[in-house]
Amino acid sequence: MIKQMKAPSARKKQGHAAWADYGPAPESISHVKIKPRYELFIGGEWVSPASGKYFDSINPANGRVLAKVAEAGPKDVDLAVASAKEAFKTWSQTSGEERARLVYAIARVILERARELAVIETLDNGKPIRETRDIDIPLAARHFFYYAGWADKLDEAFPGMKVSPLGVVGQIIPWNFPLLMAAWKIAPALAAGNTVVLKPAETTSLSVLHLAEIIQEVGVPKGVVNIVTGFGETGKMIVEHPGVSKIAFTGSTEVGKLIRKMTAGSGKKLSLELGGKSPTIVFEDAPLYEAVEGIIDGIFFNQGQVCCAGSRLLLQENIAPKFIRLLKDRMRKIRIGDPLDKNVDMGAINSKRQLEMIERYVQIGEKEGALKYQTPFVCPKDGFFFPPTLFTEVETSQTIAREEIFGPVLAAMTFRTKEEAIDLANNTFYGLAASVWTKDVAKMIEVARAIKAGTVWGNGANKFDAAAEFGGFKESGFGREGGPQGLWEYVHFEELGTVPNSSSTEIELGTVPNSRIWKTPKMLIGGKQVRSESGRYYKVLSPDGKFLADVPLGSRKDIRDAVEAALKAQVSWAKSTAYLRGQILYRTAEILQSRSSELVQVLREQTGCDGASAQKEVSLSLNRILYYAGWTDKYTGNVNPVTQTDFNITYPEPMGVLGLVSPELPSLLALVSKIFPAIASGNAVIAVPSEKHPLAAAILIEVLDASDMPAGVVNLVTGKSEELSPILAEHRAVAGLDFSGPQELAKKIEELSISNMKRTWVHDPADWTSSQAQGRSWMRRYLEFKTVWMTALS
């Protein structure tokens, strides 16, 4: 057994190095002025809340009240949104250069007041001064610097696109990095020309209110940034406010789901940075001592109250005993105590509520049979402190291996092979981050690509930079912060590309026959043309009521089978070369072209449209497939300029299995417009063709079957959109759903999407034949960005 070291005070008595204590090193707080009472910051003024209500902000290191903070009610939120709306008129027209100067000025002043802000943050949040001083505050300034630089070159951020601000943006931030999260939110919003109504968490309002002072001081116009303090109720008012165009939220998955539900069908743009249960994989050939340190940074940084905390440790079995010993040795060297002490590593948990939550999880961990190890520690009795905690012998089924604890609690498990490591890493409904430790670069890259997470650190942990995107896969939310993708969340865009009006290929008009050979369309599931599972059909009629065909009436079981087939196909489809995917798309276009006069005929017959528009639809569809065939090997990411000691890339990855529900018209073009960008980048899809006009899709099914498209990559399930769409929306293995259809159904779809926080798109381009229905943004739509950090020094 490893001998446990005694608490610091006891240690003094033993050993010959008793002199070697660091002793206290308190940060001076005499230069910091915390006001007894803080008002709301609305329209550039400090405003008392209409209700006259204030709440306490507490120093979690000693439980004492630091200040009173205004609680914003509906009238205050109305006022804040109104002043943001008013300010938007001029701010959105202000030149990029001017916005850049102001955002830059915020960064400058943050740095000038870094010490003051660091102390305020530490007092209000409980995190150690070494973190606020070295990480929170400098990184907050870094984000303002970074986005200041985009303000005057927005058009260059997204080639081929014209972007414009969204309007009033509602932002709700958590208590774990108050000022930093405010910077992550405000900087890109302002750079892009939006105005802001931001609500900090109720336990940590102060640093954000001091940021408001800075914003006021540097001359950002009144109303551009409004800060409304308060509880969840206040946040809800912002989310539901009709004057708000976008909601950006960082916080728990639970609240994220509520926000998704509240905004369903509203058309508000949404970015959600939610929870995580991020894995740290340590291979036998890892740099062990650095890995130990990485785990310390991964799970004990900010007392473990980090959304991307490395809370699951996966150790290769053959090094586990040695590694656990090194880790425990290192854990005993963590210094817990007064967060204002410059030699302290871990401060207080942010609130009593959070502390109790952590304690509850630790009890559950013990009850469920995991082995607990805690370092002995001595710290102030009246604050909310919790020691570094390691659980070994954790199994995947245990609560502490599955749920986010948001505290300094690490769950360690072992694996035998690389494949098992990847499996275990992905065995979670979260997908925020991961950390991989090995000196084998090939293994590193393979594993980094295989993990479904927005950020992967290679031989590192919890590294951040404004130039590197950060955000989630799966239930960790969507949208990115940092980098150009972080800016994308704050703009409207318009495709600048043009779409030719006619095809260079002549398509024969064809004639509508009076009689033909009887043909029954099928569905396409897993590469097979099949009838519906139930054996049921529905009749498709021409506009004048003529019977055209019996079409399979798909049901939930067909969706189930299609999703299974797509899941099976997607991994190898994504792994195939982009070149091969491109070739298969080109070949599909070729075959479709050979059926073009038949398609024209079917479109005319089915919809009663004239020959010219049917011709145009078919030729645009062909062009569109060719267009995306060419994108397969071109849409890619960036190497981000972060530090010299790290190599950092952000690149797009397919989301996985997507549901695509086509509008009634244009039945072929809209279907093609969704399927082909989605599969070009490696997704597999379940498409639901136009319910009324499914016959063009029936031909597409034959074409796909005849092409080299691997089984299961494209599945087409015909039937009633109203029935099939909600099944797709609820299916937890479906990563995203692009829905065209009535507004009420769109709302329902978005409400149901919280089953796994799938991405949704429910707004069609006004005209599917226009340039807005094709382009780079459509490639972007079905991809998720992953950022990989790799150490680059020897």
Partner 1 sequence: MPETIAKTRRNPIHRLDLDVLRRLQMDATGVYDRVSKITKTRNPKKENQRNWLLHAASMIDLTTLEGIDTPHRVRRLCQKALRPLIDEPEIQVAAVCVYGNFVSEAKRALEGSAVKVAAVSTAFPHGQIPLPLKIQETKALVSSGADEIDMVINRGAFLRGDYSRVYDEIALIREACGEAHLKVILETGELGELQNVWTASEIAMQAGADFIKTSTGKIGVSATLPVSLVMLNAIEDFYLRTGCRIGHKPAGGIRQAKEALHWLALVKETVGDDWLTPDLFRFGASSLLDDIARQLHHLKTGQYESYDYIPKG
| 240 is a contact residue toward partner 1 (CB under 8 A) | no
**Could you tell me the smallest distance in angstroms from the CB atom of residue 114 to partner 1?**
14
**Binding residue for partner 1 (CB under 8 A) from 271, 459, 619, 718?**
459
Instruction: Kindly tell me which of 34 and 792 has the beta carbon lying closer to partner 1.
Output: 792
**Could you tell me the smallest distance in angstroms from the CB atom of residue 793 to partner 1?**
4
* Region near partner 1 per CB under 8 A, out of 69-77, 81-89, 418-426, 786-794: 786-794
The answer to whether 486 and 469 have CB atoms below 8 angstroms apart is yes
Residue type, 761: W
**Binding residue for partner 1 (CB under 8 A) from 188, 347, 460, 482?**
460
**Could you tell me the smallest distance in angstroms from the CB atom of residue 6 to partner 1?**
12
x/- track of binding to partner 1 for residues 431-450 (CB under 8 A): --------x-----------
Residue 764 CA, distance from chain mean position: 22
Instruction: Kindly tell me which of 346 and 551 has the beta carbon lying closer to partner 1.
Output: 346
Strand ranges in 173-277 using DSSP code E only, listed in sequence order: 195-199, 225-227, 246-250, 269-273
Q: Which contiguous run of DSSP H or E holds residue 409?
A: strand 409-415
The answer to whether 227 and 184 have CB atoms below 8 angstroms apart is no
**Could you tell me the smallest distance in angstroms from the CB atom of residue 785 to partner 1?**
23
x/- track of binding to partner 1 for residues 6-35 (CB under 8 A): ---------xxx-xxxxxxx----------
Considering only residues 623-682, where is the footprint of partner 1 by CB under 8 A? 645-646
Instruction: Kindly tell me which of 438 and 683 has the beta carbon lying closer to partner 1.
Output: 438
159 burial level (CB within 10 Å; 0-12, 13-18, 19+): exposed
Instruction: Kindly tell me which of 344 and 661 has the beta carbon lying closer to partner 1.
Output: 344
- How many residues touch partner 1 under the rule CB under 8 A: the total is 40
**Could you tell me the smallest distance in angstroms from the CB atom of residue 111 to partner 1?**
17
**Could you tell me the smallest distance in angstroms from the CB atom of residue 382 to partner 1?**
24
Considering only residues 583-612, where is the footprint of partner 1 by CB under 8 A? none
Q: What is the DSSP letter of 7?
A: P
The answer to whether residue 317 is catalytic is: no
**Could you tell me the smallest distance in angstroms from the CB atom of residue 433 to partner 1?**
17
**Could you tell me the smallest distance in angstroms from the CB atom of residue 341 to partner 1?**
10
Catalytic residue (choose from 27, 71, 131, 273):
273
| CA distances in angstroms from 534 to 531, 556, 698, 719, listed in the order given | 8, 10, 19, 12
Instruction: Kindly tell me which of 283 and 768 has the beta carbon lying closer to partner 1.
Output: 283
Instruction: Kindly tell me which of 38 and 323 has the beta carbon lying closer to partner 1.
Output: 323
Those residues whose C-beta lies under 8 Å from the C-beta of residue 100, and which sit 6 or more positions away, are: 148, 149, 151, 152, 191
Residues β-bridged to residue 42: 45
Instruction: Kindly tell me which of 297 and 653 has the beta carbon lying closer to partner 1.
Output: 297
The answer to whether residue 308 is catalytic is: no
Catalytic residue (choose from 71, 121, 131, 307):
307
Rounded-to-integer distance, Cα 365 and Cα 391, Å: 8
Q: What is the CA radius of gyration of the chain?
A: 28
Alpha helices, H only, 332-472: 352-367, 399-402, 418-426, 441-450
x/- track of binding to partner 1 for residues 265-294 (CB under 8 A): --------------------xxxxxxx-xx
Instruction: Using DSSP, state whether 513 is helix, strand or coil.
Output: coil
Rounded-to-integer distance, Cα 565 and Cα 173, Å: 40
- Residue pointed to by tokens 């897993």: 526
**Binding residue for partner 1 (CB under 8 A) from 75, 89, 333, 353?**
333
Instruction: Kindly tell me which of 35 and 330 has the beta carbon lying closer to partner 1.
Output: 330
**CA neighbor of 525 nearest in space, from 557, 502, 479, 571:** 557
Rounded-to-integer distance, Cα 603 and Cα 619, Å: 12
Considering only residues 338-367, where is the footprint of partner 1 by CB under 8 A? 342-345
Rounded-to-integer distance, Cα 153 and Cα 484, Å: 11
Query: For residue 634, how many C-alpha atoms fall within 13 Å in the half-sphere facing its CB?
Result: 10
Considering only residues 115-144, where is the footprint of partner 1 by CB under 8 A? 130, 134
Rounded-to-integer distance, Cα 278 and Cα 456, Å: 10
| Residue numbers annotated as active site | 273, 307
Binding interface with partner 1 (CB under 8 A): 2-3, 15-17, 19-25, 130, 134, 285-291, 293-294, 322, 325, 329, 333, 342-345, 439, 459-460, 645-646, 791-794
